[in-house]
Amino acid sequence: MYNLVQRFTDDRRAAWVAFAAVGILLAVLPFLAEAGLGRSWVRILDFALLYILLALGLNIVVGYAGLLDLGYIGFYAIGAYVYALLSSPHFGLHLPLWVVLPLGAVIAAFFGALLGAPTLRLRGDYLAIVTLGFGEIIRIFLNNLDTPVNITNGPQGINMIDPITVAGIQLSQTHTVAGIQLSSTYSYYYLFLVLTLLLIFISIRLQDSRIGRAWVAIREDEVAAAAMGINTRNVKLLAFAMGAAFAGLSGGLFAGFQGFVSPESFNLMESIMVLCMIVLGGMGNIAGVILGALILTILPEALRYLGPLQELLFGRVLADPTDLRMLIFGIALVLIMLYRPAGLLPSRRRARELQPEGDAVQQEQESLHDARR
Amino acid sequence: MTTLLQTRQLAVSYGGIKAVKGIDLEVKQGELVCLIGANGAGKSTTLNALCGALPLTSGEILYQGVSTAAMPSHQLVRKGMALVPEGRGIFGRLSVEENLLMGAYIRKDHSVIKQDMLHIYELFPRLLERRSQKAGTLSGGEQQMLALGRAMMSRPQLLLLDEPSMGLAPLMVQKIFQTIRQIAAEGVTLLLVEQNARLALEVSQRGYVMENGLITLADSAANLLHNPQVQQAYLGQ
C-alpha cells in the first residue's frame, strides 16, 4: 500500500516536471525557431498551430465517429468568411473578435449539421463523395457570390481584414514585453497556442466521455449502438457540428492572421491535406493527430531547402525543388502507410486490435474450463 | 400476470418479399418465452421489428400496453427493452468495461451503475479478468457473455435475445443458457429466439414455432417438447 502511494506521488511529481518542461519549451519555441532557422519559421509555426486546430476538429468527425468527411475545408472557409465579412471594410463592419470568432464557429457548426442531416444514411465511400461535393459547393459559392449582389467579392477575395485584437492589444503590431521585442507572428503564436491547448483539452475530455464512447459504438455497429439507447441520428449530427465548429474557429483565426481571404485557399487539396494529417499521425489519437499536423506543415517547408542544397552539392540546381518536394512528400506518405498503417502514433483503441490471434484461442480454452466447473 | 409485449397481425417485408406474414405473439411479465424455427423462418426479422430496428408493413406492436409505432429503437431502450443482437454486436474497439458502460448509456445513477457492473462481473468472472482488454479480442463465448452483460446493464424489463447459442462450443452454450435461467430468475422477462430448439424449450415456460413467416404452433414449452411434430422437425427424433 505504501509503495502504491509512493509511486503515485512520484508519478505526479514526474508528471508536473514533464508538464513544466513542455510548457517552457512551447513558450520559447518561436525564439528557438527564429534563432535556428530564420524569421519565416515563426510564421510556419503559426500555420502549424492553425492546422493542428483543423486536424483536431476533423479527428472528431473521422477519428472518433468514423464519418469520412472530404469537404471539411468548407467549414474552415465558412469561419474565415464570417470573420472577413463582419470585420473588414468590405461591408464597413468592424465587429469585435469575441463576436466574430464564436459566430464563425456557430455558423460552421450549423452548416456541419446541415451537411450531416441528409447524409446520415450514407457510409464510407458514399459519404466521402457527398461531403467532397459539399466542400466544392461552398468554394464555388464563395467564388460566384459577387453578382448580382456583391457578397463575397468573388475570386478577388476580401482584403484588408481587421487584424485580431485581444484585450486592446493589436496582434499585428510589434509589442515590447519585458524588454523583448515581439513581432506580430509571435503574438499570433501565443494566441493560437492558447486556443490549441484549449481544443486539445476539449478533445481529451470528449474522447473519454459518454458521447465519445457513443461515437465509437456507432462506428462499430450502428444497430447495436441504437440498441444501447443511443440516438444515432443526433449523436452523428453532433460529431459533424463539433468538428465543423473547430474548423470555423480556426478559419476565423486564419482570416484575421492573413488579413486576406479568397476562395482559392479552400480547395479540395486542403481537405485532403488535413485528412492526411490525421491518417498519418494516427486517427483517433490526439497526440498522433498533432504530430501528423506538425509533420505535414513543416515537411513541405523544410523541403524547400532542397534547391540550395543541390547548389551546394552539385554547383547548380538539377531538379526543380517544387517538383522534388511533392515527390519526396509522396514517397514519405507511401512509406508511412506501408510500415505504420495505423499511423505514427496509433490510438489506444486501434492498437489493441493488433493483439495476436493466439490469445483468443487461449482465452476460449480458459473460458471453456470455467464453464465446465 | 400482465401482458408486457403483444403483437397483432405483425407483418414485415423486405422490398417485395414478405418475411413475416401477420403473427400474434404475447409475452407476459416475468415469463421466459422462446420463438423457435428453422433458418429463414422470420424469427430474427420478428425480433428486429419488435425492437424498432425494422419498419412494420402492417399490424401493430404493443409494449406495456402502448403502440410502439412512433418509437425508434433508442426510445424503446429507455422504456426498458434491451436487445442482444444476432452475432452479439459488441463494440470491438472498446474495452470490456467500456462495453458494459455503453449498456448503461441511458442511465444517470452512476453509483448504482458501479454496483450493477460488479453484479455482472459476479455472473461472468471471466469478464472481470478481461475488463480492460479490447472486446474484439475476446473469444466467441466471452463476447456472448459480454453482450448479455451489456444488455443487463440497462436494467431491462424485457430482454430480447437473438440466437445466443450461435457459433459457440457446446459447453459454452450450456454456460450461456445457465446464465439465461439466472437472469430470468432475477425477474427479467425474456423473449428468446433460437435455432437450438431443445435448449430453448428446456429453459422456457412457453414457446412459439415459426415457419415461413407464420406461427404454426403456440403452447407451453413442456407440451412442445413432447409434440411429435416438433420432435420430428426440430428435435431430431
Note down pLDDT in tens along chain A; length 373 residues. 455 555 555 667 777 888 888 888 888 888 888 778 888 888 899 999 999 999 999 999 998 888 888 999 999 999 999 999 998 888 888 888 888 999 999 999 999 999 888 888 887 788 889 999 999 999 999 999 888 888 888 888 888 888 887 777 777 777 777 767 778 888 889 899 999 999 999 999 998 888 999 998 988 888 889 889 999 889 999 999 999 999 999 999 999 999 899 998 898 888 988 998 898 888 888 999 999 999 888 888 888 787 778 888 887 777 777 777 778 778 888 888 888 878 888 776 655 554 444 555 565 566 556 555 5
Under DSSP, the state recorded for B32 is: E
Contacts of A232 in chain B (CB under 8 A): 74
Residue in chain A lying closest to B175 (CA): A371
Chain CA centroid to CA A12, Å: 30
Interface of B with A in 178-237 (CB under 8 A): none
Contacts of B133 in chain A (CB under 8 A): 352
This complex has an ipTM of 0.83
Q: Are B21 and B179 in contact (CB under 8 A)?
A: no
Q: So where are chain A's domains?
A: 20-283
Q: Within an 8 Å CB–CB cutoff, is residue B42 touching chain A?
A: no
Q: Are A254 and A76 in contact (CB under 8 A)?
A: yes
Quote the Cα angle for B189-B190-B193, to 5°. 165
CA separation for the pair A115, A129 (Å, rounded): 12
Continuous segment of H or E residues that includes residue B183: helix B170-185
Interface of A with B in 199-228 (CB under 8 A): 210, 213-214, 216-217, 219-221, 223-228
CB-nearest partner of A226 from B74, B126, B169: B74
CA separation for the pair A202, A315 (Å, rounded): 51
Those residues whose C-beta lies under 8 Å from the C-beta of residue B116, and which sit 6 or more positions away, are: B104, B152, B153, B155
**Residue A349 and residue B141: Cβ atoms within 8 Å?**
no
Q: So where are chain B's domains?
A: 3-234
- Beta strands B58-63 and B66-67: pairing type? antiparallel
How far apart, in Å, are the Cα atoms of B180 and each of A110, A156, B2, B216?
Answer: 46, 69, 22, 25
Q: Within an 8 Å CB–CB cutoff, is residue B94 touching chain A?
A: yes
Continuous segment of H or E residues that includes residue A87: strand A87-88
Interface test with A, best of B76, B137, B138 (most A CBs within 10 A): B137
CB-nearest partner of B137 from A223, A228, A359: A359
pLDDT at A22: 83
CA separation for the pair A351, A345 (Å, rounded): 9
Mean pLDDT in chain B?
90
pLDDT tens for B191-208 read 999 988 999 999 999 999
Q: Within an 8 Å CB–CB cutoff, is residue B167 touching chain A?
A: no
Compute the nearest-CA separation of B228 from chain A (Å). 32
Amino acid occupying residue A23: G
Cβ–Cβ pairs < 8 A, chains A and B: 118
Q: Within an 8 Å CB–CB cutoff, is residue A169 touching chain B?
A: no
Give me the CATH topology for the region B3-234.
Rossmann fold (3.40.50)
Compute the nearest-CA separation of B13 from chain A (Å). 18
Contacts of B52 in chain A (CB under 8 A): 226
**Residue B154 and residue A229: Cβ atoms within 8 Å?**
yes
Q: Are A227 and B150 in contact (CB under 8 A)?
A: no
Contacts of B138 in chain A (CB under 8 A): 360, 363
pLDDT at A1: 46
Q: Within an 8 Å CB–CB cutoff, is residue A363 touching chain B?
A: yes
CA separation for the pair B18, B54 (Å, rounded): 13
CA separation for the pair A105, A250 (Å, rounded): 8
Query: Does residue B193 sit in helix, strand or coil?
Result: strand
Contacts of B134 in chain A (CB under 8 A): 349, 352-353, 355
Compute the nearest-CA separation of B202 from chain A (Å). 19
pLDDT at A180: 74
pLDDT at A6: 55
Residue in chain A lying closest to B83 (CA): A227
pLDDT at A185: 84
Residue in chain B lying closest to A369 (CA): B171
pLDDT tens for B6-56 read 999 999 998 888 999 999 999 999 999 999 988 888 899 999 999 888 889
Residue in chain A lying closest to B87 (CA): A224
**Residue B142 and residue A216: Cβ atoms within 8 Å?**
no
Q: Within an 8 Å CB–CB cutoff, is residue A370 touching chain B?
A: yes
Q: Are A62 and A283 in contact (CB under 8 A)?
A: yes
Q: Are A161 and A260 in contact (CB under 8 A)?
A: yes
Question: Is the pLDDT score of B144 beyond 80?
Answer: yes
CA separation for the pair A89, A87 (Å, rounded): 7
Q: Within an 8 Å CB–CB cutoff, is residue B175 touching chain A?
A: yes
Those residues whose C-beta lies under 8 Å from the C-beta of residue B195, and which sit 6 or more positions away, are: B36, B37, B38, B39, B163, B165, B166
Compute the nearest-CA separation of B137 from chain A (Å). 6
* Between residues A9 and B166, the one the model is more confident about: B166
CB-nearest partner of A226 from B53, B126, B140: B53
**Residue A220 and residue B94: Cβ atoms within 8 Å?**
yes
**Residue A230 and residue B137: Cβ atoms within 8 Å?**
no
